[in-house]
Structure 1
Amino acid sequence: MNTAVATPAISNGVLWTGRVLSGLVIAFLLFDGAIKLVPLQVVHDTMATLGLPSELARTLGVLTLACTILYAWPRTAILGAILLTGYLGGAIAIHLRIGNPMLSHTLFGVYLGLMAWGGLYLRDPRLQALIPFRR
């Protein structure tokens, strides 16, 4: 008995919308991870504002870049999205803890996560087969 699930066909417009959404997430996170690797004063100031030691910036930069690369590579994109979701959840918790503004700072991780998963959903037929939305 064949238990393979048929993957739905993706229209060109939907595929490119997914690629653009994913590309925006990837570009932002590559920039965010890269600036954490360089000893910039703005990174040290931000880490202090968040109540984190500035020595942690490079570790966070490496984690951000690793998760983003996994997300960008099609074969590991779902794993990358899962890891990014956890990373962004930690960022949301930190912003909640220090009382940053809700819509601009605290929920930014939610916005980024929705874009990441939305882009992945639109460009990956395996994910569409796993989570089919009814029309």
Structure 2
Amino acid sequence: MSTVTLDQPVSKAELWSGRVLSGLVILFMLFDGAIKLLPLSVVTETMERIGYGSSEAMARSLGVITIACTVLYAIPPTSMVGAILLTGYLGGAVAAHVRIGSPLFSHVLFGLYLGLMVWGGLWLRDRHLRALLPWQR
């Protein structure tokens, strides 16, 4: 059984893989938050279909929350807090899609896919998380 300590550096390949994975999540979540800030009909129609009503104020609030959580995730000292907040946000999206009976693999599990990318990218680039959650061989 191998243990991870804080003095062991992350390899360059793992570091860059984590950065790329985290970067993809950050870009997607910033895009998702930005389109909620604009009064686009696709956003209000989707929110109404999910059961949140067609309120532009609600969409804007969710957009601000999404962007704030993503910025926290993007900044290294606050990335763990951002990952926790994004996990909660994505869990809410999964629950909303389960409630309305959306297709499983394309809609319901999409939040799970993103959540795995959030934590996978962070685990690959952060030795503190590796020490907290080590994989055993």
> TM bucket by the smaller chain?
over 0.9
Query: How many Å separate the matches in 1 of 2:122 and 2:73?
Result: 9
Q: How does 1:16-95 map to 2 (within 5 A)?
A: 16-55=16-55, 56-95=58-97
After TM superposition, the score normalised by the length of structure 2 is 0.93
Q: State the shift of 1:20 in Å.
A: 0.4
Work out the percentage of aligned pairs sharing the same amino acid: 63
Cα displacement string for residues 3-60 of structure 1 (whole angstroms, at most 9, x for unaligned residues): xx63421110010000000000000000000000000111111111111123210110
Letter in 2 for 1:85: T
Matched, 1:10 2:3: no
Are the aligned partners of 1:17 and 1:119 in contact in 2 as well (CA < 8 Å)? yes
Q: Structure 1 stretches (4+) deviating beyond 3 angstroms?
A: none
Are the aligned partners of 1:92 and 1:109 in contact in 2 as well (CA < 8 Å)? yes
Query: How many Å separate the matches in 1 of 2:45 and 2:53?
Result: 10
Structure 2: unaligned runs, 5 residues or longer: none
Are the aligned partners of 1:8 and 1:129 in contact in 2 as well (CA < 8 Å)? no
Query: How many Å separate the matches in 2 of 1:11 and 1:127?
Result: 15
Query: How many Å separate the matches in 2 of 1:73 and 1:81?
Result: 11
Cα displacement string for residues 72-108 of structure 1 (whole angstroms, at most 9, x for unaligned residues): 0000000000000000010000000000000000000
Query: How many Å separate the matches in 1 of 2:83 and 2:6?
Result: 23
In the comparison of the two structures, how many residue pairs are matched? 131
Structure 1: unaligned runs, 5 residues or longer: none
